[in-house]
Amino acid sequence: MPEQMTVGVGAGARHLGVDRVVDLGPLHPSAHGAYRLRLTVSGDDPVISAAEPLVGHLHRGAEKLFEVRDYRQVLTLANRHDWLAAFCNELAVALAVELMTGMDVPARAQWLRVLLCELNRVLAHLVFLAPLTRDQDGGSTPGTRAAILGREAVQAVMEEASGGRVHFMFNRIGGLREDVPLGWTDRVADALSTVDADVIGEFAASDHLAGTGVLSREAALGLGVTGPIGRASGVDVDLRRDDPPPPYRELDVTPVVRSEGDALARVRCLLDEVRQSVRLARACLERLPGGPVNLRLPKAVKAPEGSVYTRVEAPLGTSGVHLASRGEKTPWRLKLRTPSFNNVQALSALLSGTRVADLPAVLGSFAVVVGDIDR
């Protein structure tokens, strides 16, 4: 039997040491929280034989906090567990309350929501793609600069519309907080023109990623993996096509699906989804109707007794909300189904057999946000 050792490792695997726990790096969103892997490695050229993701370091009790806040206030908490998908998370909760109360959201608000969701998706994917474009010494490349330029351009128009850079807080029960500023749609079109997925892909989709960190379709289905990670393994599920809000029904959404399931497939899925989101956002700009963007609500919003489940296609997968009410102005129970919580367990399946030298690239292709795990 080869000698084995159990170590805690992050993206700094090149500095591997016994019982050493390393952050995933300052450019990875998981640097905002404690993300840890327990790996069993063996051999002279170390290979991972077992992997266990360790979660729970960042637990916030968000679901319990929902129960003591009214339906307007819960949106403040809803955008904080996945800080890269803040708008989509707000929307999932707003849709649940609107479904329970039978609200008919104005058409302009619905189209703006779809537009902002796609901008949010571009922003989130570019955050994960930017580190993958760096050279072997960690230096910037044209792909890195293109990813950062595109992200900042999209971030600027999201910030202009909402007033928030990270926590947008732009959704409201019954629509949006307010209409977008005059000339904003033109600036969105300009921002989208700066997103150059071809240049980013030239550096991010490297051939050395091929065949590493393979997640089979069977494992992805068994673990409930969704989003670009699941679609890279052949899981043909995208709620924008399969369970769409009304505006998506008028748009041509074709899920980006690959069958290889390796790190390269995951990166290419992210790149292709950036291209698709840019196309969908432009289609929203062309079809954006006029009119109001919200409903006039009573001072206290109360959902009738009962329960509903709503879900949206967030950047990293299915973001679901199970809302149960007893007819009061606060939820009796508000349970979140977050994509990163389901997806992170897939590391146990895909890291087995991976060389430690390939670990940074494999983890870089595996997009998770720790707040979404330990909400």
Same domain, 368 and 230: yes
* More confident position, 298 or 232: 232
Dist. CA 144–CA 203, nearest whole Å: 8
pLDDT of residue 29: 46
Mean pLDDT for the stretch of residues 343-352: 91
Any domain includes 41: yes
Confidence band, pLDDT 50/70/90 cuts, at residue 3: very low
Question: Can you say how many angstroms the Cα of residue 171 is from the centroid of all Cα atoms in its chain?
Answer: 17
97 belongs to a structural domain: no
* 348-370 pLDDT tens trace: 999 888 888 888 889 889 998 88
| Whether 37 and 171 share a structural domain | no
106 and 47 in a single domain? The answer is: no
Q: Is residue 364 part of a domain?
A: yes
Asked if residue 2 has pLDDT above 70, the reply is no
Q: Tell me whether residue 80 is in a domain.
A: no
Q: Is the pTM of this model over 0.85?
A: yes
135 has pLDDT over 60 = yes
Per-residue pLDDT tens over the stretch 180-202:
999 999 999 999 999 999 999 99
- Rounded to whole angstroms, the Cα distance separating 309 from 208 reads 42
Residue 19: which domain range? 4-54
Q: Which of 22, 38, 54 is the last residue of a domain?
A: 54
22 has a pLDDT exceeding 50? no
List all residues 6 or more positions away from 273 whose beta carbon is below 8 Å from its beta carbon.
121, 125, 228, 256
pLDDT of residue 41: 79
Query: Which of the pair, 26 or 82, is modelled with greater confidence?
Result: 82
Do residue 266 and residue 174 come from a single domain? yes
20 plus 150 within the same structural domain: no
Q: Is residue 90 part of a domain?
A: no
For the chain, give the secondary structure using H, E and C: CCCEEEEEECCCHHHCCCCCCCCCCCCCHHHHCCCEEEEEEECCCCEEEEEEEECCCCCCCHHHHHCCCCCCCHHHHHCCCCCCCHHHHHHHHHHHHHHHHCCCCCHHHHHHHHHHHHHHHHHHHHHHHHHHCCCCCCCCCHHHHHHHHHHHHHHHHHHHHHCCCCCCCCEECCEECCCCCCCHHHHHHHHHHCCCHHHHHHHHCCHHHCCCCCCCHHHHHHHCCCHHHHHCCCCCCCHHHHCCCHHHHCCCCCCCCCCCCCHHHHHHHHHHHHHHHHHHHHHHHHHCCCCCCCCCCCCCCCCCCEEEEEEEEECCEEEEEEEEECCCCCCCEEEEECHHHHHHCCHHHHCCCCEHHHHHHHHHHCCCCHHHHCC
Counted domains in the chain: 2
143/256 same-domain check:
yes
Residue 87 reports pLDDT greater than 60: yes
Are residue 117 and residue 210 in the same domain, yes or no?
Answer: yes
For residue 245, is pLDDT > 70?
A: yes
Share of the chain above pLDDT 90, in %: 67
User: 170 and 293 in one domain?
Assistant: yes
The answer, yes or no, to whether residue 11 has pLDDT greater than 70, is no
pLDDT of residue 205: 92
Q: For residue 35, what pLDDT is reported?
A: 66
Q: By CB neighbour count within 10 A (0-12 exposed, 13-18 middle, 19+ buried), where does 221 fall?
A: middle
Mean pLDDT of all residues in 108-122: 97
Query: Is 21 part of a structural domain of the chain?
Result: yes
pLDDT of residue 31: 52
22 and 115 within one domain: no
> Is 314 a member of any domain?
no
- Over 50: is that where the pLDDT of 16 sits? no
What is the average pLDDT value for the chain, to the nearest integer? 88
In-domain check, residue 238: yes
Report CA-CA distances (Å) from 240 to 110, 231, 258, 263, 318: 14, 13, 17, 24, 10
Residue 28 in this model has a pLDDT that exceeds 70: no
Q: Are residues 135 and 284 in the same domain?
A: yes
- CATH number, position 124: 1.10.645.10
